[in-house]
Structure 1
Amino acid sequence: MDVLVLIGRILFVLLFLGSAAGHLTQTKVMAGYAAAKGVPAAAAATAGSGVLLLAGALSVVLGVWADLGALLLAVFLLPTALLMHAFWKESDPQMRQQEMIQFEKDIALMGASLILFAFFAYAGHDLGLTLTGPLFSLH
């Protein structure tokens, strides 16, 4: 089971690591997009969210307070869904559909992040292939 959980962790964070790289290496372009969506302090928000993504993804994949890392990813996903993919604001049906898909993806990933948080916080030290135990305990 430990190897399956590790493989799952690796596959889960690939999206977040790629997104973190984009946030941190293409900050100006991504901040322009965020500003167009109405995100306040878009450059700072883009850089900050890139750091949040990187920290959360590395925490989950390396198993260093993986519960905290999963929680960080969930914290990133909720405002991202609400601010960046507000499909209810779109009047064009095609754009509305695309934003709805992205919104639902973010909400689903947030759900998965919360499940991972609970999994790590509950299983704790019984889960192998992590560098540390959890920061939180759900016993």
Structure 2
Amino acid sequence: MDVVVLIGRVLFSLLFLGSAFGHFAQTDAMAGFAQSRGIPMPKIAVLASGVLFGLGGLSVLLGVWADLGSLLLAVLLLPTAFLMHGFWKETDAQTKQVEMVSFNKDVALAGAALMLFAFFAHVDDLGLTITGPLFDL
């Protein structure tokens, strides 16, 4: 079972680590998009969210307070969904569809991150982690 959980952690974390890399490799483009969505200080917001995605992804991947990392990702994903992917504001059908998919992806990932948080904070023997949980549910 430990190996299955580890594989799940790796697969889950890859998305966030890739996203974090993208935030740093494409900062200006992402900041332009964030600015178009009305995000204040868009470049700083892009860099900060990149750091948080990276920290959360590494935390889950390595099993270093993976409960905290999961919670961090959930807390970051929900506002991102609403602030960056407001499909209900779009008038172009194709843009609306793309934003709806991105919104739903962020909400679903937030739900998965919350489940991981509960799992990591509740299970006594996590196996294949560097630290135990920070929280105790």
TM-score by length of 2: 0.97
Gaps spanning 5+ residues in structure 2: where?
Answer: none
Shift of 1:28: 1.6
Gaps spanning 5+ residues in structure 1: where?
Answer: none
Shift of 1:94: 1.7
Aligned equivalents of 1:48, 1:55: Cα separation in 2: 11
For residue 57 of structure 1, what is the amino acid of its counterpart? G
Shift of 1:25: 2.4
Q: Match for residue 93 of structure 2? A: 93
For residue 42 of structure 2, what is the amino acid of its counterpart? A
Aligned equivalents of 1:79, 1:22: Cα separation in 2: 19
RMSD: 0.8
Aligned equivalents of 1:92, 1:82: Cα separation in 2: 18
Q: Match for residue 110 of structure 1? A: 110
Q: Match for residue 133 of structure 1? A: 132
% identical aligned pairs: 66
Larger deviation: 74-83 or 110-119?
Answer: 74-83
Q: Work out whether 1:11 is the aligned partner of 2:11.
A: yes
Shift of 1:29: 1.7
TM-score by length of 1: 0.96
Aligned equivalents of 1:100, 1:28: Cα separation in 2: 24
Superposition map of 1:1-139 within 5 A: 1-124=1-124, 126-138=125-137
Shift of 1:110: 0.3
Shift of 1:58: 0.2
Shift of 1:95: 1.2
